[in-house]
Amino acid sequence: MSERKIAVVDPAERDRQKLIMQRIKENNDIDYQRIGKNKLFHILTFGCQQNSSDSEKLKGMLAHMGYDETAKKADADVVIINTCCVRENAELKLYGNIGALKQLKADKPGMIIAVCGCMMEQEHAVNAIKKKYKHVDLVFGTHNLYKFPELLERSMNEQYTLIDIMNTDGIIVEDIPVKRDEKHKAWVTIMYGCNNFCSYCIVPYVRGRERSRNPEDVLKEIEALAADGCKEVTLLGQNVNSYGKDLEADIDFADLIKLVNNIEGIERIRFMTSHPKDISDKLIDTMKECKKVCEQLHLPFQAGSNRILNAMNRKYTKEEYLAKIERVKKTIPGIALSTDVIVGFPSETDEDFNETLEIIREVEFDQAFMFIYSKRQGTPAAEMTEQVEEDHKHKNFERLVALQNDVSRKINDDYSGKLVEVLVDGPSKKDKTKYTGRTRTGKVVNFIASKDIYGEDDLTGQLVDVRINEVHSWFLNGEMITN
Ligand code: SF4
């Protein structure tokens, strides 16, 4: 059994960073007196929800230091690119984006350009920036995000690119200010890192080993969110089912959910991501028991063939996966399931791929996030010799997408005429006469709301009932019935 490792939580570090934030704020206040407006920041975020959550922390720290957000890079005094290295195209996009900032910086020499996130935990990416993009002022990684105020202050006084990457798993620093993009729903990170080392995945190398936040800190954060009007929380971690294994307290993920379920004001609880090998009967029963837990589960199966699952180091078989799905469906009838699938993992044959299609047909996922395998430097799968030809991967990918579209459409057909509870995200971006929101099962619903029913109030953040009158593969349309 591997040695139990406790994450280090360091309040002294938090206080040090707070002092630096205060110092920068005082300087910015002096500038405000001079120029009559706050300094501005712009953040470009790539990748997953964990990155979005990190960006919300960066925004929170910048707001504390007296910066306002701007949608225009050219106007910003601080531009941050929060990178992702999970997919190859994100890496390619990054270099294009950094290159494009060169002229902006030439036009505005005081601009600070920072690059952070997963990709900066990889030596080759940091070296590429050092060599080719000398206009970048600051590079930092995922483990030292909490040090951003200190790094920002230092980079303002440096002539060269300041690079600060921690090679350890990092410490957990609580009470970092967060500026959330939405008020009615929030991502709450409950743990960092991953111990699984799936052979295609770079995450354990760039986000380190699993570290759980103390339950008291998680609950304190959610209570504060609820007091501020938040109705839905999504508990976030690379493998939430491992929550608590590294804590001294005797608590697991199911126990944490029960505690969150007791928080007044929170109406909906979601979580991601679950690993099929770790999802327990206790968790499935807890989902059923806790009324605030939404009827939705994201359980990535990745591939249908046991040979490929073994090569991926997923540590479960197709049969074990299907047994867990059966248990979930039996316990929570009508649950919406979603998954991740990789097409074209090294050595995947058509026979293997057909087993993936079989799982899609058998389980009937509401949604699948489908990816074409791409090599990630530094992972075992990148060294595997039998890489599948690009053309072939793309053809199979199209077959998979077509099948999943049919399945999603068929599931959504059952919503026709149904009354659903929707948490309203706001006016629809495409059609301002409608609102948009999500059901408990995670379906996007666009709906017309008659002012006779809801008056002049903005419905954003409210739970409303909507009758579905039109279904599509990826969204539903309807009409609000009551409020
Ligand atoms: S469980 Fe596997 S795929 Fe998920 S983050 Fe960990 S290593 Fe990556």
In this predicted model, what pLDDT tens digit does every residue of 157-195 receive, in sequence order? 888 899 988 766 667 888 888 899 899 999 999 999 899
Q: Both 404 and 318 in a single domain?
A: yes
Average pLDDT over residues 129-151: 92
Nearest CA-CA partner of 50 in 149, 153, 164, 145: 145
Predicted structure pTM score? 0.88
315: three-class secondary structure by DSSP: coil
- Give me the CATH number covering residue 435: 2.40.50.140
User: pLDDT above 90 covers what percent of the chain?
Assistant: 74
Distance from residue 192's CA to the centre of ligand 1 (Å): 12
pLDDT over threshold 60, residue 269: yes
Whole-angstrom distance, CA of residue 437 vs CA of residue 445: 5
Angle, CA 35 vertex, CA 29 and CA 40 arms, to 5°: 70
| Confidence grade of residue 377 (pLDDT, cut at 50, 70, 90) | confident
Whole-angstrom distance, CA of residue 314 vs CA of residue 199: 8
Report yes or no: 270 and 308 within 8 Å, Cβ to Cβ: no
pLDDT over threshold 60, residue 226: yes
Question: 57-61 contacts: CB < 8 A, separation 24 or more?
Answer: 57/145, 57/146, 57/176, 57/177, 57/178, 58/82, 58/116, 58/145, 58/148, 59/178, 59/179, 60/176, 60/177, 60/178, 60/179, 61/17, 61/21, 61/148, 61/149, 61/176, 61/177
Q: 344 lies in a domain?
A: yes
pLDDT over threshold 80, residue 10: no
Q: Both 224 and 371 in a single domain?
A: yes
Q: 408 lies in a domain?
A: yes
**Which of 382, 413, 444 lies at the terminal end of a domain, its last residue?**
413
pLDDT over threshold 90, residue 61: yes
**Which of 413, 440, 462 lies at the terminal end of a domain, its last residue?**
413
Per-residue confidence (pLDDT) for residue 457, from 0 to 100: 76
Q: Both 304 and 223 in a single domain?
A: yes
- Give me the CATH number covering residue 348: 3.80.30.20
Average pLDDT over residues 424-430: 90
Average pLDDT over residues 322-332: 97
As for ligand 1, residues whose beta carbon falls within 6 Å of it are 194, 196-198, 201, 203-204, 238-239, 275
Per-residue confidence (pLDDT) for residue 11, from 0 to 100: 79
Per-residue confidence (pLDDT) for residue 482, from 0 to 100: 67
State the closest ligand 1 atom to the C-alpha of 197, by its place in the atom list counted from 1. Answer: 7
For all residues of the chain together, what is the average pLDDT? 92
Report yes or no: 120 and 143 within 8 Å, Cβ to Cβ: no
| Confidence grade of residue 70 (pLDDT, cut at 50, 70, 90) | very high
Q: Both 157 and 220 in a single domain?
A: no
Q: Both 78 and 204 in a single domain?
A: no
Per-residue confidence (pLDDT) for residue 271, from 0 to 100: 97
Letter string b/e over residues 338-348, b meaning 16 or more CB atoms within 10 A of that residue's CB: bbebbbbbbbb
Per-residue confidence (pLDDT) for residue 181, from 0 to 100: 84
Q: Both 248 and 394 in a single domain?
A: yes
Report yes or no: 247 and 276 within 8 Å, Cβ to Cβ: no
Whole-angstrom distance, CA of residue 377 vs CA of residue 384: 12
Q: 17 lies in a domain?
A: yes
pLDDT over threshold 50, residue 1: no
Q: Both 443 and 409 in a single domain?
A: no
pLDDT over threshold 80, residue 420: yes
Per-residue confidence (pLDDT) for residue 93, from 0 to 100: 81
Q: 112 lies in a domain?
A: yes
Report yes or no: 176 and 61 within 8 Å, Cβ to Cβ: yes
Q: pLDDT higher for 69 or 7?
A: 69
pLDDT over threshold 60, residue 6: no
Distance from residue 82's CA to the centre of ligand 1 (Å): 20
Q: Both 407 and 432 in a single domain?
A: no
pLDDT over threshold 70, residue 439: yes
Distance from residue 208's CA to the centre of ligand 1 (Å): 11
Lowest mean pLDDT among 144-148, 223-227, 340-344, 418-422: 144-148
Q: 27 lies in a domain?
A: yes
- Give me the CATH number covering residue 118: 3.40.50.12160
Lowest mean pLDDT among 48-62, 160-174, 180-194, 197-211: 160-174
| Confidence grade of residue 467 (pLDDT, cut at 50, 70, 90) | very high
327 phi and psi angles, rounded to 5 deg? -60, -45
Report yes or no: 115 and 95 within 8 Å, Cβ to Cβ: no
- Tens of pLDDT, residue by residue over 298-319, are 999 999 999 999 999 999 999 9
Q: 172 lies in a domain?
A: no
Q: pLDDT higher for 181 or 4?
A: 181
Per-residue confidence (pLDDT) for residue 2, from 0 to 100: 44
Distance from residue 369's CA to the centre of ligand 1 (Å): 15
Average pLDDT over residues 22-28: 95
Total domains in the chain come to 3
pLDDT over threshold 90, residue 203: no
Q: 6 lies in a domain?
A: no
Q: What is the domain range of residue 331?
A: 185-413
Q: Both 332 and 369 in a single domain?
A: yes
Whole-angstrom distance, CA of residue 283 vs CA of residue 151: 41
- Ligand 1, atom 8, residue with closest C-alpha: 201
Q: 115 lies in a domain?
A: yes
Q: Both 79 and 191 in a single domain?
A: no
34: three-class secondary structure by DSSP: helix
Q: Both 193 and 330 in a single domain?
A: yes
Mutate to test the pocket of ligand 1, among 84, 195, 200, 201 (most ligand atoms within 8 A of CB): 201
Per-residue confidence (pLDDT) for residue 237, from 0 to 100: 94
Per-residue confidence (pLDDT) for residue 170, from 0 to 100: 62
Distance from residue 233's CA to the centre of ligand 1 (Å): 22
pLDDT over threshold 90, residue 232: yes
Q: Both 405 and 435 in a single domain?
A: no
Distance from residue 157's CA to the centre of ligand 1 (Å): 39
Lowest mean pLDDT among 9-13, 33-37, 413-417, 459-463: 9-13
pLDDT over threshold 50, residue 401: yes
